Homo-oligomer: A and B are copies of this chain.
């Protein structure tokens, strides 16, 4: 099959979802979740996991003293939150929130290095080790989230400052990676889908082409992760570079037809693949997307749109392995499934994509946040056993109640940015 690209485009400022279900939810995100997460990121909430994420930027910017705190990808929490802020401002202007966001963007700009590089972990802790560990260190992943946030903020406010910052980082990446430059693929996909957004926001084809490069370089020989690991002789998490499935590095993406490995990585990659296929009319890429969608939707997805059946590697396992009580079903994976299916709808208007998108959005994603907007599930089981879940071997990842935050806090801000953009994803083409 070829690609029947949907060529309509609706300015999302021209549309609003207003109904009994989403309006209260959007208000919750705007009035509770965004301020709550701001307070968490600023380490102002007692009794939840410390974040340190905004303070890291202050330190990297030279505005504060101290050590980097948190995961190597801590920056992405700030980025996802800024993206949620952008959608919030779109729904309803808020001068105070916008002023605060501008202030954070100002700090981010100051944390950026003269060559455009932007990542507080390496800037604060380990400047000599930049770009040596793409497999584990998430520099491209964090850059991707910054780009998504900046594009959203630009579209919401018309302000270009943040976009300029991420363009400088994107150009830094363009100058480093690609054919005839350094070889590289991200350990956690995200930059690909972000570069496609940046391409549409700026019209600069080099961002689209770099997204295509990262997609096509994956799964090729020799194994890039083994090559860089051998070269640098140090590890961050200790992820085995020879585990080809974990980051979908087992085959060229056009040849992949079963959903393998870390489910969030997979979804972000499939999203970029579908987007790239729709943008470029690449029929082989579109076919791979259809095969991957069919495998997920028909054989590896829970009735809730939850995906990723095993805690080990937060990953897909095998066809029809759908254990209600010990599944992983990461919130971010369902968020990713919404992105992927939405992009499939751009590729071709098939109701199957819309059905799965809706299923994942209403079930797999929303279960990730408590109705008060202040507690979150990372793992979304379909069955919780009192006294067993969260306690016994095999069930330890299954929390019986939602905590207020996580040391690895990818999910809460991902939920915050997602239902908010229902206006964008439910009607017409989204960016």
Contact = CB atoms under 8 A, between A and B. Distances in A.
A311 B396 CA distance: 12
A313 to B, nearest CB: 8
A123 interface: no
A238 interface: no
A323 B388 CA distance: 10
A99 interface: no
Interface residues of A, number: 17
A318 to B, nearest CB: 5
B388 A311 contact: no
Ranked 5 nearest A-B pairs via Cβ: A394-B394, A312-B393, A318-B387, A310-B392, A311-B393
A98 interface: no
Contacts of A88: none
A312 B323 CA distance: 19
Given A325-B323, A326-B326, A310 B393 contact: yes
Copies in the complex: 2
B312 A388 contact: no
B326 A388 contact: no
Interface in A312-335: 312, 317-318, 321, 323, 325-326
Q: Summarize A's interface: helix, strand, loop or mixed.
A: loop
B312 A392 contact: yes
B325 A388 contact: no
Nearest to A398: B394
Given A310-B394, A323-B394, 12 more contacts: A310-B392, A311-B394, A312-B392, A312-B393, A317-B388, A317-B392, A318-B388, A323-B325, A326-B326, A326-B394, A393-B394, A394-B395
Contacts of A310: 392-394
Contacts of A388: 317-318, 321, 323
Contacts of A318: 387-388
A385 interface: yes
Interface in A293-321: 309-312, 317-318, 321
A261 to B, nearest CB: 13
Contacts of A317: 387-388, 392
